[in-house]
Every structure is written in C-alpha cells, then in structure tokens.
Chains A and B, each alone.
Chain A
Amino acid sequence: MKHHVTTTVNGDEVEFLCETEQTLLDCLRDELELTGTKEGCGSGDCGACSVLLDGRLVCSCLVLGVETNGKKIETIEGMATGDKLHPLQRKFLEHAALQCGICTPGVLVAAKSLLEKNPNPTETEVRYWLAGNLCRCTGYDKIIRAVMDAAAEMRGA
C-alpha cells in the first residue's frame, strides 16, 4: 500500500506517494526530483543527505518518507534566493571548500543550521557540529575556514 504524504518543502506544499520502505531521501530524490540532497552511505554516518525536518538537522536517509506527513522540510534547493547564493555557498566557492561536491549540499545545510543557532561559533564548535559530515576531498580545513568566514560576514563583522 502506498502512503499519500503532504509536506512543505522549502516553503512549498507538496504531495507524493511512497512505500513504507522509502526514506525521506528516496522521496526527495525519486518522487520529488529534488536531487540536490545526495546519498552517501545510506546509514547515517556521512551526513551527505542532511536536511532540516521541522527545523531540526537530520540525515534524510534515517527518516521514513511517511513520517514526514504534515512536517516542514528544508533542503539545499531552498538555500539560494533565485540566482543569489547564500553567503555560505559564496564562501565555499571563494575558499575552494569543495572538490567532488558530493558532501557539499549536506555540509552547507548543516552549517546553515549551526549559524542559525549560533551566529558566532568557535572553530571547535564548527568542527564538532560538522563531525557527522564526512568529506574525502578537502581535508576539512577549507570547509571550516569557509564556514567561519561566512559566519563573520553574516554577523556583519
């Protein structure tokens, strides 16, 4: 039996049908064709599929699609405003904080969620917050610098 799910994704009300087994990640990518959210490990270890669910940072591979009925989801597709990149996205380009790009949507969504809670994090706080976002290209240093720089810009510092 398919479930009929109604949710809000990046501010738009959407509906989709899914099987119980389909995760939120499957539903975003395969039912809603929002392929910005990436699948890395599929077991909650790598953070590539990070999204916000009712404002809370989660791995979308560890949420069933059917659980999201009536909830609010935010993905990487909602980050830029039209052609205008979010400061985090711009700083990632400036600092070359990505190479292959698979981890990037998840890192950006996670970093944005941190800066909403804590606009002035220490480097240690950024590193711990992002410990669940694995990147096999950059060695993390550029990611951390980009997040710190974006945070400073967003504070108007």
Chain B
Amino acid sequence: MRYESPDTLEAAAKLLASESGEARILAGGTDLLVQIRAEVLSPALVVDIKKVAETRAIKEEAGGFRIGAAVTGAELKEHSALKKVWPGLVEAANLIGSTQVQGRASLGGNLCNGSPAADSVPAMIAAGAIASIVGPNGRRDLKVEDIMLAPRKLALQKGEIIASFLLPKRAPHSGDAYLRFIPRTEMDIAVVGCGVSLTLDGSGTCTAARVGLGAVAARPLLVEDAAKALVGTKVDDAALEKMAAAARAACKPIDDKRGTIEFRTDVAGVLAKRTALIALERARKA
C-alpha cells in the first residue's frame, strides 16, 4: 500500500486518476482504516487529503459557510458561529461514534463511506449543502442528496474528490435539527435518522423546509413531500401529521437486526415530527 499526501487537490486527483489498482481517499480514516484492517478493502494507494488547506478549513462565504471535507466533528462543535446557525448539522456530526472518533471523523468521509445510515448526511441534505468536487477535469458542484446512489456507490468519477461543502446563507427565523433512533444512548448506528431545516416568516408561517431521511432506503433521501406538508402552515399538529405520513411514504427500508421494515417506517414518521418541532423552536428564536 502506497501513501501519498499531496498539498493540492489537482495533485491528489491526478494520483487517484492514474492509479491502476484500487485507490482510496484518506480523511479521518475512521471507516477506511477499519475496512483495510478487516480486509474489506486492500487499496494499492491511499491519498491523504488533509494537507490540502481547503479540506481542513471552515470559512464564511457568500453569507453562508464553506466546510472542508476533512474538518472533524470536534472542530465543527468548537466553531461557535457555525453551531449557532446550523446546530442540527453540528449535532448530527457529533453523534458519529465516540469522542475519539469525533476527533477524526469528517463530513466528507461520512458521506463517501457510502452508508445509508450515516448520521451527518440527512442533516446536510436538510441544510441544502452543496459539495464542491475536484477531479481530473476540473471542479464541479453537486447537491449532497445526489452523491450517494446506493450502499458504497457514489456519483463520483474516478479521481474525483469532495473538497468542501457549502452551506447556503440562512434567512432570518430559520432553524435545523437532527434526531436518530438507536436502541441505546450512545455509540450506535442509526436505525432511522431525520434532519429537518425550516424557515418562518414574521408571522410564524413556514416559508421553506427541507427534510432528509437516513437508514430507511438504499440511500439517504430528500423527502420533498414531507417538506411541502410544512410550507404555508404554522407547523401545527395537522401539518406535522401530514409531514409524518409523507416521511413514512418515502421509506423503502430493509429488515435487519437493527429494525424491521414496519418499525423503521413507523419511526421515520415519529422522528420527522419530533425533529421538525426542534427545528421550529430554533427558528422561532433565531
């Protein structure tokens, strides 16, 4: 296994694109090193992207935030301006693994590991995060909900690297939240995860919403019908019930040891309501 740690994305993309064997990107390594040790993966080349400044920085940009793909959960939590505007996303990233894992694990890695249960992904989808991707043919943008296609399968071409994510400028009276269901209190993988972001007008009517669901389909979902159920309402009980029904309708989960199809589908609705209420509370105070 070769190790390279270039300091530009162009050099990293070139290394990845020209490798004839299996090549992997190393950010925090909390999934990659486990998979190498378990011999699930045996890459010929590992490209560490953490020497590229863009991957390690949080910057304000166009009234929003640009977050490097290799910024850790612990660093997100310590960034008070980001945490104030996007508390749900920061909380989601800090549900991944233990304190030790949060010291290394990144948004880019959580997404590119390609698990439908990744905690930060529904929160990023709810936030409307856009990935900035650099590859052998230059740079392009892709919405986070369009990146993961199926378990371990991404819409990235050979040599492409997610460099950073842009979180758009926030309108006044906006809030976000993320909740997951796990059968214990810490250190577990989501049975269902839900991210909600919403915006209110001066009278408390919801003017915009986004709902992301994880672990209920082969890929994390943007549930547009659930968001539509909230827009134009005061996010009252009737709207929340309609939203929960839309969330359940979007589920195509698997049956496994973590939860049955029936359980996951039901919990998706329950979590969607609870998450929306937290986002609502935050939007009212923002």
Contacts and interface: CB of A to CB of B under 8 A. Distances in A.
Given A44-B30, A66-B3, A58 B100 contact: yes
Interface string A25-62: 00000000000000000111101001001001111011
Contact of A63 (B3, B5, B29, B72): B29
B286 to A, nearest CB: 26
Interface stretch (B31-39, B130-138, B203-211): B31-39
Contacts of B99: 57, 110, 114, 128-132
At the interface, is chain A mostly helix, strand, loop or mixed?
mixed
B186 interface: yes
A157 B28 CA distance: 38
B33 A61 contact: yes
B103 A42 contact: no
A20 B46 contact: yes
A149 B186 CA distance: 24
B33 A132 contact: no
Nearest to B1: A20
Contacts of B101: 44, 59, 62, 132
A67 interface: yes
Contacts of B100: 44, 47, 50, 57-59, 62, 110, 132
Interface in B51-106: 72, 74, 97-101, 103-104
A4 interface: no
Interface string A101-119: 0000000001000100000
A31 to B, nearest CB: 16
B98 A64 contact: no
B30 A62 contact: yes
A83 interface: no
B10 interface: no
A23 interface: yes
Given A21-B1, A23-B33, A43 B97 contact: no
Nearest to A3: B3
Interface string B5-25: 100000000000000000000
A130 B99 CA distance: 7
Contacts of B46: 20, 64
B241 to A, nearest CB: 33
Contacts of A129: 99
A122 B79 CA distance: 22
27 contacts: A3-B3, A42-B37, A44-B33, A44-B101, A45-B187, A47-B100, A50-B100, A56-B72, A57-B100, A59-B98, A61-B33, A62-B28, A62-B33, A62-B100, A63-B33, A64-B26, A64-B29, A64-B33, A64-B48, A66-B3, A67-B50, A110-B99, A110-B100, A132-B98, A132-B99, A132-B101, A132-B187
Interface of B: 1-3, 5, 26, 28-30, 33-34, 36-38, 46, 48, 50, 72, 74, 97-101, 103-104, 186-187
